[in-house]
Amino acid sequence: MELGDLEAAVLGSVLRQGKASARQVAKDLEPSRGLAYSTISTTLDRLYKKGMLARDEAIGRGGSRYIYMTHSEEKVKGKVVKGFVDRLLTAFGPTVISTLSDYVDDIPKDELKRLEEKIRKGSKQRST
């Protein structure tokens, strides 16, 4: 899943807020980006269509609006990382894997244990 800079900023805003309307995201990003409401709204819709966000319709005084939220933070992060690794593999081939493995020593021990357990569970599921 490839994300542009704006999509990443908008997605980050929704993640920080838990759930948000286009107006709330625009307000959150305004100090650093100064983006138009319509740009934020279009970007949120694009992230929804990519499956990165879920949305509910809320009816208020001004009519209806969408409230966006993530399906799950882990799922979103997984999609983003997978897209990034896929792009690296396309650009540089399998040598990327060995390069990434060189950084294993930099991973905190508790995170590494969590990753090992996840790999073990994934291997068991694939073998059944």
Predicted confidence at residue 128, as pLDDT, reads 61
Residue 49 reports pLDDT greater than 90: yes
- Can you tell me the mean pLDDT for 28-51? 89
**Domain ranges in the chain?**
5-69, 73-127
Residue 60 reports pLDDT greater than 90: no
Q: Is the pTM of this model over 0.85?
A: no
Residue 1 reports pLDDT greater than 70: no
Predicted confidence at residue 21, as pLDDT, reads 95
Residue 39 reports pLDDT greater than 90: yes
| Residue 28 near residue 37 (C-beta atoms within 8 A) | no
SS3 (DSSP) at 36 = coil
For residue 54, the 8-state DSSP code is E
Predicted confidence at residue 47, as pLDDT, reads 94
* CATH code for the domain defined by 5-69: 1.10.10.10
**Residue 102 identity (one-letter amino acid):** D
Predicted confidence at residue 126, as pLDDT, reads 65
Predicted confidence at residue 77, as pLDDT, reads 73
Tens digit of each residue's pLDDT (9 = 90 or more) over 72-119: 767 777 777 777 778 788 888 888 888 877 877 788 888 888 878 877
Site of tokens 């740009």: 39
| Residue 54 near residue 70 (C-beta atoms within 8 A) | yes
- Can you tell me the mean pLDDT for 23-41? 87
Predicted confidence at residue 67, as pLDDT, reads 96
